[in-house]
Amino acid sequence: MDRFIIDGGRRLKGAIKVSGSKNAALPILIATLLTDETCVVENVPSTLRDLRTTFRLLESLGKRVVVKGSTVRVLSTGSLKTQAPYEIVKQMRASVLAAGPLLARFGLVRVPIPGGCAIGLRPIDIHLKGFEIMGARRIADQGDIILSAPRLRPAAIALRFPSVGATQNLMMAAAATPGRTTIGNAAREPEMGDLGKFLEQLGAKVHGAGTAKVTIEGKAKLGGARHKVIPDRIEAGTFLLACAATRGRVKLVGAEAAHLGAVLSALKKAGAKIRSGKGWIELAMERRPKAVSIVTKPYPGFPTDLQAPWMALMTTCTGFAKVVETVFENRFLHAAELGRMGAQIAVSGRAAVVAGQERLSGAPIMASDIRAGAALLVAGLAAKGRTTIARVYHIDRGYEEIERKLSRAGARLARQK
């Protein structure tokens, strides 16, 4: 299993190119199940493990996927299957997003219930409730859920929590259901807006994607599309935090500042100098960060996916920073690993208090999920001495060519096979 070896303590400097958004690309590619026409999706971080899993999912359901660099063509090969294989769903929970398009088109879908994961239980009750409101019946069988409805009907759905996945699943189901469906208390992440644009390209009418109320006028038959995925705000945010932690200066190319409001404002409070323009963000950090407390919230709040890297940055702040996680129930696994590097973090339930140190020192540590892995990278780059990160496959799920991108910006980071 691969490991990263980092010689820390070097300032990041120069330019880093941001990839297309993983979390926008996944639902958009799955939305190609809504049509038999060819779809071309550009700016896809196609080398990521989660994307490879998505290609396999689409192929197992009967699509043909042709990948050329970051451009992905999804073609029809005849009829689609309506059963998602467990072997794929257990590797990537986002596979449950296939349920919406398949149920709406074929009136029947069988998906394995995804298990929990390191950061929490992650149920799918909000997705299922939405399908029920649209007229689906469900039965559980052998660890799978079977959803059926001769025809879904348009409906007014109010989510009990603005779940990202449930909003996407229901948007896709609504796009292939003739009539007007509204989703209230919808997730507002920029990835919703991107999916909305794609669904419009396919021929649905979409209003308010990326706001708390989405309205979709679906059609029984949807066409093909060509679409360019938005930049990855979480990858961009991770680079900004890594740069701040190493007290460096970098320019992110291909990044969208408007998608990172809460993070940029916290970074400014911590003492970073930030400038941005169309398609770029520049950050310079000259001294130890000031303590800035954060609470994770659904967008436009501080993203849970940057909570762990934020904590890594705060390990060297002046003072005490409180980090509260409200989105997932068990997302502090990185705290103990950071402790091995000398960080002082007290965790109690969903809150952690970080007492800033002058510097962390390198240590052998282990990633437990994608973003915990990103936090360890941030810490390792900033720490004095050598850090070895095990279970790098978690990081590979979400960060494309990360060692190449960071090395170009002056980091000493190597992959050991």
Task: List the one residue from 19, 23, 46, 246 that touches ligand UD1 (CB under 6 A).
Answer: 23
* Residue number with CB closer to ligand UD1 (147 or 363): 147
| CB 127 to ligand UD1: min, Å | 5
| CB 295 to ligand UD1: min, Å | 14
Taking CB under 6 A as the rule, does residue 161 contact ligand UD1?
A: yes
Taking CB under 6 A as the rule, does residue 209 contact ligand UD1?
A: no
* Residue number with CB closer to ligand UD1 (76 or 211): 211
| CB 182 to ligand UD1: min, Å | 18
Taking CB under 6 A as the rule, does residue 294 contact ligand UD1?
A: no
Q: Specify whether the CB–CB gap between 317 and 291 falls below 8 A.
A: yes
Size of the site for ligand UD1 (CB under 6 A): 20
The Cα 327–Cα 350 span in angstroms is 9
- Name the token pair of 367: 């990633």
Task: List the one residue from 63, 105, 110, 127 that touches ligand UD1 (CB under 6 A).
Answer: 127
| CB 153 to ligand UD1: min, Å | 21
The Cα 183–Cα 323 span in angstroms is 31
* Candidate list 39, 117, 243, 317, residue with the active-site label: 117
Active-site residue, 117 included: yes
Residue 207 burial by Cβ neighbours in a 10 Å radius (0-12, 13-18, 19+): middle
Q: Specify whether the CB–CB gap between 209 and 196 falls below 8 A.
A: yes
* Residue number with CB closer to ligand UD1 (235 or 282): 235
Give the phi and the psi of residue 74 in degrees, each rounded to 5. -115, 120
Taking CB under 6 A as the rule, does residue 120 contact ligand UD1?
A: yes
Instruction: Quickly list H helices, 48-163.
Output: 49-60, 86-89, 99-106, 125-133
| CB 123 to ligand UD1: min, Å | 4
The Cα 62–Cα 79 span in angstroms is 7
Taking CB under 6 A as the rule, does residue 57 contact ligand UD1?
A: no
DSSP result, 266-334: HHHHHT-EEEEETTEEEEE--SPPBP--EEB-STTSB-GGGHHHHHHHHTTSBSEEEEE--S-SS--HH
* Residue number with CB closer to ligand UD1 (110 or 233): 233
79-98: which residues touch ligand UD1 (CB under 6 A)? 94
Query: Binding mask 316-345 vs ligand UD1 (x if CB under 6 A, - otherwise)?
Result: -----------xx-----------------
Q: Specify whether the CB–CB gap between 127 and 166 falls below 8 A.
A: yes
In DSSP terms, which residues pair with 66 in a beta bridge?
73
The Cα 2–Cα 305 span in angstroms is 23
Taking CB under 6 A as the rule, does residue 115 contact ligand UD1?
A: no
- State the sign of the Cα–Cα–Cα–Cα dihedral 249, 251, 252, 255: positive
| CB 328 to ligand UD1: min, Å | 5
Q: Specify whether the CB–CB gap between 307 and 338 falls below 8 A.
A: no
Residue entry with tokens 């952690």: 352
Task: List the one residue from 39, 166, 183, 214 that touches ligand UD1 (CB under 6 A).
Answer: 166
Q: Specify whether the CB–CB gap between 4 and 377 falls below 8 A.
A: yes
| CB 242 to ligand UD1: min, Å | 18
Taking CB under 6 A as the rule, does residue 122 contact ligand UD1?
A: yes
Stretch that binds ligand UD1, among 141-149, 160-168, 268-276, 277-285 (CB under 6 A): 160-168
Task: List the one residue from 104, 126, 149, 308 that touches ligand UD1 (CB under 6 A).
Answer: 126
Closest-by-Cβ residue to ligand UD1 is 165
Q: Of the candidates 82, 85, 87, which has an alpha carbon nearest to the alpha carbon of residue 99?
A: 82
* Residue number with CB closer to ligand UD1 (212 or 355): 212
Task: List the one residue from 57, 99, 124, 136 that touches ligand UD1 (CB under 6 A).
Answer: 124
Q: Of the candidates 92, 10, 187, which has an alpha carbon nearest to the alpha carbon of residue 396?
A: 92
Query: Which are the catalytic amino acids?
Result: 117
Residues that bind ligand UD1 (CB under 6 A): 23, 26, 94, 120-127, 161, 163-166, 304-305, 327-328
